[in-house]
Structure 1
């Protein structure tokens, strides 16, 4: 049976973390959970430590400072790969990614190298999002697909499962992305490496507690980087096979 590590980065998520950890454990009782906390000033790290003391299979990786989502996930990947986990999962701590869909994603990983919990694949949807934000996300993903030639409907989605061998191949040579475009970067590398990427529809639910780290400025900065990547890949650069 494959061993599973669910990685959830945190920064000021004290109100959301206990609930998401318990939902993950309820959905996949055998899974281990790694909380990667970027020294949250609201005490999220202390709450994570209490959960780890209370629940078997819950671990905490404390980082000194906030360096972006990508840096937190890369630290979690290194932790999990060093301990021999077969499947490594990305999931947000704010509850927007439904842990109840984890069994479906893990099932799909039996036949795919990377599985994306997709908002925009057939059957996927979002809930409680302002219309403007939904439109921005749809347009951003459409642009990413066209610019980079990716056969993935939700290339920016952050609810994912990676097979360990595939993740090692994706990370070969290093990944520099740290923010919103981190997920696009890994998707591009996976596709260019010839890995199988599958999508499982999910309902993405906007957070009900805490503050979002997303902004229009962050989104457009990411799209600018995608444009640069599109030009570079034509010359055999990032992610090119």
Structure 2
């Protein structure tokens, strides 16, 4: 029996207005992992209803500010009250992550540590702005934390329960991907890159990333993280 089948995994998807794609993602993910949780983050479309009818456990979030990290952190706190799982499979609801690759990520996770999907940096179909931004961020993350992470911004990953439970989380939006890597390293865990495809589904909405806001926020977060590291 493959080692990953012994892992008690939960798929966690933070979704905001993903009505065009969420049903297919949930259905495909549910074929690999029985429990799929969708956090519908301030959705104004049918994301929650479609995810629920497709077999997901849906938690609707409508108070506080929207944001991927906020949605994930609230979900983590709730999930940590449940002792039945050992690993979280994190993925997006826009169809960019292929659920058929979940077994490969879980197989890597069976060896321990944080598993991070790694998309081909310069291949199609990733838009050029995202491609170069991801490349630059990944280069900086790898250099500062002395750990090779080819695609530090990929949201398709597997996190062990220990990381979720012991991580010191401050991220509010998309800097959560980098913070997970930093916390894994701080806790002495391996960071394992695994090649994954990059899919842009027909009908999927545009990215929620606001480049003029989120990139400077990431830079500020990175600077603060390094300053605290130096002071500590």
Which category describes the TM-score, using the shorter chain as reference length?
0.7 to 0.9
When normalised by structure 2's length, the TM-score is: 0.88
* Residues 162-187 of structure 1 deviation map (CA, whole Å, 9 limit, x = unaligned): 121232122xxx41211111111111
Q: 2:179 aligned to 185, 201, 204, which one? A: 185
Are the aligned partners of 1:68 and 1:179 in contact in 2 as well (CA < 8 Å)? Answer: yes
Partner Cα separation in structure 2 for residue 125 and residue 106 of structure 1: 25
Q: Note the C-alpha offset of 1:131.
A: 2.5
Unaligned runs of 5+ in 2: 1-5
- What is the match of residue 3 of structure 2? none
1:216-231 alignment runs, 5 A limit = 216-217=211-212, 218-231=214-227
Q: 2:126 aligned to 125, 129, 132, which one? A: 129
When normalised by structure 1's length, the TM-score is: 0.85
Partner Cα separation in structure 2 for residue 80 and residue 19 of structure 1: 24
Q: 1:205 aligned to 183, 199, 210, which one? A: 199
- CA RMSD, 1 decimal: 1.9
Is residue 161 of structure 2 the alignment partner of residue 161 of structure 1? no
Are the aligned partners of 2:105 and 2:115 in contact in 1 as well (CA < 8 Å)? Answer: yes
Are the aligned partners of 1:147 and 1:227 in contact in 2 as well (CA < 8 Å)? Answer: no
Q: In the comparison of the two structures, how many residue pairs are matched? A: 223
Partner Cα separation in structure 2 for residue 103 and residue 15 of structure 1: 25
* Residues 124-154 of structure 1 deviation map (CA, whole Å, 9 limit, x = unaligned): 7753222233122111211222234343222
- What is the match of residue 96 of structure 1? 96
SS at match of 2:80: helix
Are the aligned partners of 1:125 and 1:204 in contact in 2 as well (CA < 8 Å)? Answer: no
Partner Cα separation in structure 2 for residue 130 and residue 2 of structure 1: 35
CA gap of 1:141–1:107, structure 2 versus 1, over 3 A, is same
* Residues 196-237 of structure 1 deviation map (CA, whole Å, 9 limit, x = unaligned): 22111111223431121013211232123212222221222x
- What is the match of residue 41 of structure 1? 44
* Residues 70-123 of structure 1 deviation map (CA, whole Å, 9 limit, x = unaligned): 111112222332222111111000011111111011011111221111125xxx
Q: Note the C-alpha offset of 1:60.
A: 0.8
Are the aligned partners of 2:137 and 2:152 in contact in 1 as well (CA < 8 Å)? Answer: no
- What is the match of residue 58 of structure 2? 60
- What is the match of residue 239 of structure 1? none
